[in-house]
Amino acid sequence: MFGEYINNTEDPKKYELWVPKIKAYRERLQEGVKPEYSLPDYSLPSEEELERGIDARALAAKCLTGEEIEITSSSATDLVQRMATGQLTAVEVLKAFAKTATVAHQLTNCAMELFIDEGMKRAEELDAYFAEHGETVGPLHGLPVSMKEHYAFKGKIAHAGYVGKLDNVSDEDLAIVRDLYNLGAVFYVRTTEPQMLMHLCSNNNITGKCRNPCNTLLTPGGSSSGEGAIAAMNGSAFGIGSDIGGSIRGPAAFCGVWGLRPTTKRISLAGVANPYDDQSPDVVYPTLGPIGRSADDLALCMKAVIDQNPWEKDPLVLPIPWKDVPEPEPKKLKIAICYDDGFVRPTPPVLRALKTAKSKFEAAGVEVVEWKPLDVQKIVYTCYVAYNFDQNYGQKARLALSGEPVVHLSQKHLSFGLGDGAVSGLEVQRLVNIRDKYRCIYMDKMNEMGIDYILTPAYVSVAAKPETITYWGYTCLWNILDFPNVSFPSGLSVLLEDRVDKSFKPRNEVEEYEYSLYTGPDDFVNAPIGLQLTGRRYTDESVIQAAKVLAEVMQDELTVTQRAVL
């Protein structure tokens, strides 16, 4: 699964020159923490407390009024409707989210840039527009939307987690930013991501690690780390992440929120800063997608963006309109559940959630069958090779710009597949051939079984401790196959009964390592158990609706107290 990576980009002397830029960047970030929106220093937990693991969600309430709690815990779908009917103003909404976002950052380090003043100016303009015209500027009018850092904002830096890109100021707002703005979104925060964007975790040399709000000992996942954390803290109405291996679904699952990795090429990538300015590694293609607090919010975002006909400006986007799809009746659903991908077995809490899902689904009339592993190791290996088939040229060139230290999971990622090893054009063609054949094999299997959806873990386990995860198979399988997924909260979190299965005999080293990361319930208190629902290519609309219904079925038996926590 892993190749060889030659660590030759670090250059401590060169890096010294960049350290002041990092410092300045952090200071600007800190300046964004405005007293009126933040927890006072005295009520902040210490680093040691955070390191022991606390539930940051509960703390946030301390600086919020009841009305602000009501606003920030409302769905985007609800908020936008209330603003459109004059029940709420954009300024009222942003003021509430400015607090949750700021506190989220104070407790989890989820932001890379906080610019609430700019957002407030925009909110005021929107309110003025509404007052004058009696209508909204668009379907996202007044919604505070968070954005992962690596999208170009005019006049702002886009570094994609590379210290050497700290000078990279964008010339213009690009595609998704411009579109969301035109639709009425309010921008005020850009969220954190790991070095190189290629960890299922969050560490970088610019602003450091992000914490999981549910348990600050743990990682929020990655690479849309800050988006997962801010959503769990009700710090934005929804946010935009990106995903080429699990980067939306990991954080959503680990933080107990919703994330959609749409089929690729439905959302424009124009203006997304990535490691490959002059390279387009399209064997495994990235996509943007929403992270939020409800299924409806994912659909709201997607519909608004796709209704702009992005293909009229960007020929790389497919002209597939967004369809309004009704919620399926549970009794008409037939789904397959995958309890093990055949390569790395899920840990006890995840297995429990899958079994719970089965029994609850069946009780609700859903037909459930088992999804047997289908050459996962081969496909995931193909995906790992496809990540690095430029011999790591793009990523290493950008690391070398600053000579910055290569953090642990970047080192791991650079050893994926063949590492720095050469891949010939012929081999690239064979990777694509394997990819396309398995796209067909998986679809044939779904047709043969008569199912439209597959329920799987979003990762082997719940959120892990920082800087540990190396196996992305449960998510990146679907990136290379390009079947869309919704990562959603099962409503369950780790319980005392989720003890490590000591009798378990790992089948391989990857499984042994990854399984060992779950050390039992004590370290994983409150860790949400997210699941992943996968559908056929380009049926993103239906996957969202099916996940909505299945999540409702799973959460039916929650107690009132548990609901309140959610």
**Which residues, 6+ apart, have CB-to-CB distance to 192 below 8 Å?**
109, 110, 111, 112, 149, 202, 204, 207, 210, 225, 226
Q: Which stretch binds a second copy (CB under 8 A): 9-17, 28-36, 277-285, 472-480?
A: 277-285
Q: Which is nearer to a second copy, 330 or 394 (CB)?
A: 394
Would residue 247 show up in a list of annotated catalytic residues for this protein? yes
Minimum distance, C-beta of residue 439 to a second copy, in the bound complex (Å)? 4
Q: Which residue has the tokens 């925060």?
A: 189
334 touching a second copy, by CB under 8 A: no
Q: Which of 537, 555, 558, 566 binds a second copy (CB under 8 A)?
A: 537
Single out the residue of 70, 135, 167, 282 in contact with a second copy (rule: CB under 8 A): 282
Give residues with Cβ within 8 angstroms of 438, minimum separation 6: 374, 375, 379, 480, 481
For 240, phi and psi rounded to 5 degrees?
A: -115, 120
Residue 315 interacting with a second copy (CB under 8 A): yes
Are the C-beta atoms of 289 and 267 separated by less than 8 Å?
A: yes
Out of 47, 278, 324, 448, the only residue in the binding site for a second copy (CB under 8 A) is 278
138 or 281: whose CB is closer to a second copy?
281
38 part of the active site:
no
The DSSP call for residue 329 is: P
User: What is the smallest separation between the CB atom of 421 and a second copy, expressed in angstroms?
Assistant: 10
- Cross-strand bridge partners of residue 146: 239
Q: Could you tell me the smallest distance in angstroms from the CB atom of residue 428 to a second copy? A: 5
Residue 402 is a catalytic residue: no
Could you tell me which of 110, 414, 428, 147 has the C-alpha nearest to residue 275? 414
For residues 33 and 299, what is the distance between their CA atoms, to the nearest angstrom? 31
User: Please, are residues 89 and 142 in contact by the beta-carbon 8 Å criterion?
Assistant: yes
Could you identify the residue written with the tokens 């946030």?
60
Contact residue for a second copy among 40, 155, 208, 319 (CB under 8 A): 319
| Nearest CB to a second copy, comparing residues 188 and 371 | 371
Q: Give binding residues for substrate as ranges.
A: 197, 223, 244-247
Site for a second copy in 411-450 (CB under 8 A): 422-430, 432-433, 435-436, 439-440, 442-443, 447
**Which residues, numbered 474-503, are part of the site for a second copy (CB under 8 A)?**
482-483
CA–CA separation, 202 vs 212, rounded Å?
10
Residue 329: how many CB atoms within 10 A of its CB?
Answer: 11
| Contact window for a second copy (CB under 8 A) among 43-51, 105-113, 241-249, 306-314 | 306-314
Active-site annotation holder among 146, 202, 223, 224: 223
From the CB of 427, what's the least distance to a second copy, in Å? Answer: 7
Shortest Å, Cβ 537 to a second copy:
5
**Residue 322 touching a second copy (CB under 8 A):** no
Would you say 526 or 542 has its CB closer to a second copy?
542
Q: How many residues lie near a second copy (CB under 8 A)?
A: 44
Per the annotation, binding residues are: 197, 223, 244-247
> Residue 563 contacts by C-beta under 8 Å, 6 or more apart in sequence?
555
Taking CB under 8 A as the criterion, which residues in 380-399 touch a second copy? 389-391, 393-394
Residue whose structure tokens are 């886009």: 158
| Selected range binding a second copy among 140-148, 163-171, 340-348, 530-538, rule: CB under 8 A | 530-538
Q: Which long-range contacts (CB under 8 A, 24 or more apart) does 155-161 make?
A: 156/113, 156/190, 157/25, 157/113, 158/273, 159/206, 159/273, 160/193, 160/196, 160/197, 160/273, 160/274, 160/275, 160/398, 161/193, 161/194, 161/195, 161/196, 161/197, 161/204, 161/206, 161/223
The Cα–Cα gap between 88 and 121 comes to 17
Spatial separation of the C-alpha atoms in residues 232 and 164, rounded to whole Å: 31
Tell the smallest beta-carbon distance from residue 165 to a second copy (Å).
18
Question: 181 near 170, Cβ under 8 Å?
Answer: no
Of 2, 129, 311, 322, the residue at the interface with a second copy (CB under 8 A) is: 311
Q: How far is the CB of 441 from a second copy (least distance, A)?
A: 10
Q: Which of 146, 247, 402, 493 is catalytic?
A: 247
Nearest to 565 by CA among 260, 215, 227: 215
Residues serving a catalytic function are: 148, 223, 247
Using CB under 8 A, list all residues that contact a second copy. 270, 276, 278-282, 311-316, 318-320, 389-391, 393-394, 422-430, 432-433, 435-436, 439-440, 442-443, 447, 482-483, 536-538
